[in-house]
Amino acid sequence: MMPGVGFAEMVVLVLVAIVVIGPKDLPLMMRKFGRFTGKMRAMAFEFRQGFEELGRQAELEELRREVADLKRHTGMEEFTREMEKDRADMERDLREAASASETPRPAPAARSAEQTQPVSALPAATETPSLLPPEAIAALNARLGDYHEGEDHGPPPAPLTAPIEGAETLSADRLPPERQGAPA
């Protein structure tokens, strides 16, 4: 039933239709009215579905835009590109370092007798070579003298009773009144 139309109103409408249309044409008119109402409902349903479909498409488009923005703002593509570039640079540097460090090695038969001796058979080194000339080493040894590791070789601490330079001595008459007579 239609909203706001009660049983009493329907009875009045049927009586008016019988009087105006006549009892003979009333069933035909009711059939046409039913078909018209069905078509109107179908059109309203299609209209509502069209709007819902537009709403879903708009939501999907909005979600696509958000996903694209997130991809763009997360910087994942840029980060991946940078990582690939850094990886390629490191591989290139490693290849260059490996090729630079490869020096031709002599064949095992070409080694001298000194190289084939065990380490224990080699003569012991008497002194390690120094980067400083012997005169500089002698001067340093004379300057250091009797230096022993772990000892404190800084200047001696100042005595606690030594006067402070630049400070004038205060006499009892120059002390503030609250300090006069107090032990120093």
In a domain, 180, yes or no: no
**Do residues 10 and 1 lie in contact, with contact meaning Cβ atoms separated by under 8 Å?**
yes
Phi, psi of 156 (to 5 degrees): -70, 150
Summarize pLDDT for 46-67 with one digit per residue, the tens.
Answer: 999 999 999 999 999 999 999 8
Indicate if the pLDDT at residue 5 is higher than 80. no
Out of 50-54, 139-143, 154-158, give the one with best mean pLDDT: 50-54
**Pick from 58-67, 71-80, 112-121, 129-138: least confident:** 112-121
Range of the domain at 46: 9-95
In a domain, 107, yes or no: no
Indicate if the pLDDT at residue 178 is higher than 80. no
In a domain, 103, yes or no: no
pLDDT band, residue 162 (cuts 50/70/90): low
Q: Which residues contact 132 (CB under 8 A, 6 or more apart)?
A: 140
In a domain, 39, yes or no: yes
In a domain, 161, yes or no: no
Q: How many domains does the chain have?
A: 1
Indicate if the pLDDT at residue 94 is higher than 70. yes
Tell me the mean pLDDT in the region 89-109: 76
Q: Mean pLDDT for the chain?
A: 77
In a domain, 104, yes or no: no
In a 13 Å sphere around the CA of 183, the CA atoms on its Cβ side amount to 0
Confidence (pLDDT) at 81: 87
**Do residues 180 and 172 lie in contact, with contact meaning Cβ atoms separated by under 8 Å?**
yes
In a domain, 183, yes or no: no
Distance in angstroms (rounded) separating the CA atoms of residues 181 and 184 = 9
Q: Which residues contact 163 (CB under 8 A, 6 or more apart)?
A: 169
